[in-house]
């Protein structure tokens, strides 16, 4: 187990759970805080088989961390957060995709509490000054009772070791760099706040949908008015971002016509 002698405080359920709102803490049926795991998302998906959800897993390290669109998520054992929550929704699959946008809002609002102004690149890349600070990976399956079993995986950079960060093929940052303080950031506290907000968001989303989060998402949107490059299974297209639709899809002006995307890899083109 990690300890202060290793140079950082270990994640611990005792320390995380005392930061979780008791109303939400009481809902959690299973939790796991481990030193190392292939992917916290895999652990979370398994919990549906046992019927023990909501369930949450935190790990100090992931040996096979996954990102969106088949990418790896570099998950060194330093001081980041890797967590997954398993939650079952009584929703149809077509009503699920805005949930990933809601999770982005949750992370941006958490960062704001620490004085960090982050933005969102559709659907849920969390960026600070154009550099990625957090990512969200949702994986879902239809359950036996036709409910939608969803795993929400979050990777949040807290204090990434620069040498290990070189493995990341995109510009990145972390909370410590953005706060600019040598004072150590308490991961257990961040984990507790993040989990409380996430549980709250899942409950709200199940009842009310995207509506309660849409305006917030729009206020953090960096794709609106930007020149975008959009990669889908059909190829690559370029157009201007028009914002998001009421159900969280990406609206883009392509050759004078508005087109809607529900799934795509988006990058922002920098004007030469």
Question: Is the CB of 125 or the CB of 221 nearer to ligand BTN?
Answer: 125
- Which residues 36-55 are close enough to bind ligand BTN by CB under 6 A? 39-41
251 scored as a contact of ligand BTN (CB under 6 A): no
| CA–CA dist 263, 248 (Å, integer) | 11
Interface with ligand BTN (CB under 6 A), residue from 33, 55, 73, 188: 73
| CA–CA dist 61, 196 (Å, integer) | 22
C-beta atoms surrounding 145 within 10 Å: 8
3-state SS class at 200: helix
| CA–CA dist 181, 178 (Å, integer) | 8
CB of 217 to ligand BTN, least distance (A): 16
CB of 255 to ligand BTN, least distance (A): 29
- Which residues 113-172 are close enough to bind ligand BTN by CB under 6 A? 125, 135-137, 153-155
Question: Is the CB of 64 or the CB of 117 nearer to ligand BTN?
Answer: 64
Interface with ligand BTN (CB under 6 A), residue from 45, 79, 82, 173: 82
CB of 135 to ligand BTN, least distance (A): 2
Question: Is the CB of 39 or the CB of 47 nearer to ligand BTN?
Answer: 39
| CA–CA dist 54, 150 (Å, integer) | 10
| CA–CA dist 125, 251 (Å, integer) | 17
Residue 245, token pair as written in the block: 């639709």
| CA–CA dist 269, 112 (Å, integer) | 26
108 scored as a contact of ligand BTN (CB under 6 A): no
Residue 63, token pair as written in the block: 């040996």
Q: Could you tell me which stretch among 80-88, 90-98, 100-108, 206-214 binds ligand BTN (CB under 6 A)?
A: 80-88
Mind giving me the DSSP string for 4-72? GGGTSPPP-HHHHHTTS-HHHHTT--EEEEES-BS-HHHHHHHHHHHT--SEEEEES-BSS-B-GGG-B
CB of 229 to ligand BTN, least distance (A): 17
CB of 82 to ligand BTN, least distance (A): 4
CB of 100 to ligand BTN, least distance (A): 10
CB of 171 to ligand BTN, least distance (A): 13
H-only helix segments in the chain:
13-17, 22-25, 40-50, 99-113, 162-165, 175-179, 187-208, 211-220
| CA–CA dist 262, 214 (Å, integer) | 16
C-beta atoms surrounding 246 within 10 Å: 10
Interface with ligand BTN (CB under 6 A), residue from 53, 78, 84, 157: 84
Residue nearest to ligand BTN (CB): 135
Question: Is the CB of 57 or the CB of 116 nearer to ligand BTN?
Answer: 57
71 scored as a contact of ligand BTN (CB under 6 A): yes
Residues that bind ligand BTN (CB under 6 A): 39-41, 62, 65-68, 71, 73, 82-84, 125, 135-137, 153-155
């Amino acid at each position: 187990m990690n300890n202060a002698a290793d140079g950082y405080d270990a994640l611990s359920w005792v320390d995380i759970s005392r930061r979780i709102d008791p109303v939400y803490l009481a809902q959690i049926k299973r939790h796991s805080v481990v030193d190392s795991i292939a992917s916290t998302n895999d652990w979370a998906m398994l919990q549906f088989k046992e019927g023990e959800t909501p369930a949450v897993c935190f790990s100090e390290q992931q040996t096979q961390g996954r990102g969106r669109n088949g990418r790896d998520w570099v998950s060194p054992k330093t001081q980041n957060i890797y967590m997954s929550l398993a939650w079952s929704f009584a929703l149809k699959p077509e009503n699920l995709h805005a949930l990933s946008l809601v999770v982005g809002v949750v992370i941006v609002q958490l960062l704001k509490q620490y004085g960090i102004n982050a933005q969102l690149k559709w659907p849920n890349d969390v960026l600070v000054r154009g550099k990625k600070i957090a990512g969200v990976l949702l994986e879902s399956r239809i359950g036996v009772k036709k409910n939608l079993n969803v795993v929400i995986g979050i990777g949040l950079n807290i204090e990434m070791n620069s040498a290990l960060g070189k493995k990341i093929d995109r510009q990145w940052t972390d909370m410590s760099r953005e706060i600019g303080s040598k004072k150590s950031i308490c991961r257990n506290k961040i984990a507790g706040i993040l989990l409380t907000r996430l549980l709250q968001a899942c409950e709200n989303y199940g009842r009310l949908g995207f509506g309660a989060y849409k305006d917030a998402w729009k206020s953090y949107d960096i794709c609106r008015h930007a020149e975008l490059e959009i990669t889908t299974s059909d190829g690559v297209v370029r157009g201007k971002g028009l914002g998001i639709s009421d159900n969280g899809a990406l609206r883009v002006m392509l050759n004078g016509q508005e087109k809607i995307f529900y799934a795509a890899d988006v990058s922002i083109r920098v004007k030469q």
